[in-house]
Amino acid sequence: MWPIQKFLSTFAKKFNLQRYDFMKYKPLFFILLWNVFLFMPDIQAQTNEIKTVVIDAGHGGKDCGAVGTKSYEKDITLAVALKTGNYIKKKYPDVKVIYTRDKDVSVDLYERADIANRNNADIFISIHCNSVANSPKTGGAETFVMGAHRDKANLDVAMKENASILYEEDSDEHYGGFNPSSTEAYIAMSYLQSEYTDASLKLAECVQNELVNKAKRGDRGVQQAGFLVLYRTAMPSILVELGFISNPKEETYMRTDDGQSYLASAIYRAFCKYKTDYEKEAQSVQEAASQPVEEQVAEQTAAPENKIVYKVQFASRSTKAKNPSTTFKNLKDVDCYEHNGVFKYTAGRFPTRAEAAKYQKEVVAKGYKDAFVVKFQDGKRVN
């Protein structure tokens, strides 16, 4: 966590405040400061394997969520969550699947995140349905990660999902007086970014691609917004909006057994891809770190001929920095490449994976905890 002096200085600079302005903006300031101490979870050490996944069926019990003409969001999310978990269990018997709820009961938002944190989960997936008033043709699936909302539509989605705390007792105690309808509260929340944004974006991209390409859902993309249920988790976390329950055609699809199976299968396939890629990357880094010196020399000799270089990827953003070297000035040889509409940033340029793995530790020590080694050949990223 930042030193308080730096925190206050950065906050004042962000909003162009003078010292006396803190009293004027006291409600916003104290929301922000409270959230620093209340919401920031202990960061869990990442392992080389995906062993535990928490699947969160949105809403439940007295909180019905969005309401369609024939169904409740809480029922659709529960059915898809259970199917997703069953698919994962069959494929990976050694993976522990935990549900935040497996029946129609109320579970507080803070408790959903705490379930994941207590079980040292490697992944958290929250499943929801979207809704918009007076627009029955609006449709499509979208996948969210914790972050600052880019437009009003994203803010509206977060406000609707966070409104679940209004059904909870002692919400002031658990959320520090957070008002899910207050724009200022989201300004404060967005100022504290998750340590797992990059890994969450990778998982979100996997899910969104499967929903669009396999389940044939409309593509609303990977988005960022301030969700309380994601904010408190200490692992890569996403929130999936399966479709619009306010759209009669999509509601019919989501409430049928076939539709729920397709949606669950899409999330399951995305989980498989993410797990495979994550563990392969972790294994490669581990092997590179223990690689004999003579092999490193041989690899270094071959690299210029094949134009192979290794870099350390440390961040992903939805927008491109004008000058990456200035933006990330504490890193060397900063570069940027685009993949699926997301700008990904790398640091360093090494002829061997072992050298890159060594620099990866320096990058992690500078606060980029999700940094990992990537390989480029002829200027293009390769697996």
Q: Residue 44 is part of a domain; what is its CATH number?
A: 3.40.630.40
pLDDT, mean of residues 361-366: 86
pLDDT, mean of residues 196-203: 84
pLDDT score recorded for residue 158: 47
Q: How far apart are CA 335 and CA 328, in angstroms?
A: 10
The answer to whether position 27 is within a domain reads no
Do 176 and 229 sit in the same domain of this protein? Answer: yes
Between 20-24, 31-35, 249-253, 273-277, the lowest mean confidence (pLDDT) is in: 20-24
pLDDT score recorded for residue 226: 64
The answer to whether position 60 is within a domain reads yes
Q: Is the pTM of this model over 0.85?
A: no
Residue with tokens 């581990």: 286
Do 312 and 264 sit in the same domain of this protein? Answer: no
Task: Look at residue 315 and give its three-state secondary structure.
Answer: strand
pLDDT at 251 over 80: yes
Structural domain harbouring 198: 40-276
pLDDT score recorded for residue 200: 87
Do 370 and 225 sit in the same domain of this protein? Answer: no
Number of structural domains, the chain?
A: 2
Residue 236 CB contacts under 8 Å (≥ 6 apart), including other chains: 122, 123, 124, 196, 199, 200, 202, 203
Q: Which residue has the higher pLDDT, 217 or 223?
A: 217
Q: How far apart are CA 250 and CA 254, in angstroms?
A: 6
> What strands, in cross-sheet order, belong to the sheet with 96-99?
96-99, 52-57, 123-130, 237-244, 141-146, 219-225
Residue 27 CB contacts under 8 Å (≥ 6 apart), including other chains: 184
Q: What tokens were used for 220?
A: 């609303």
Do 265 and 369 sit in the same domain of this protein? Answer: no
Q: What is the CATH number of the domain that holds 368?
A: 3.30.70.1070
Do 117 and 152 sit in the same domain of this protein? Answer: yes
Do 92 and 239 sit in the same domain of this protein? Answer: yes
pLDDT score recorded for residue 365: 84
62-71, 222-231, 280-289, 311-320: range with highest mean pLDDT:
62-71
Between 52-56, 295-299, 323-327, the lowest mean confidence (pLDDT) is in: 295-299
Q: Which residue has the higher pLDDT, 361 or 316?
A: 361
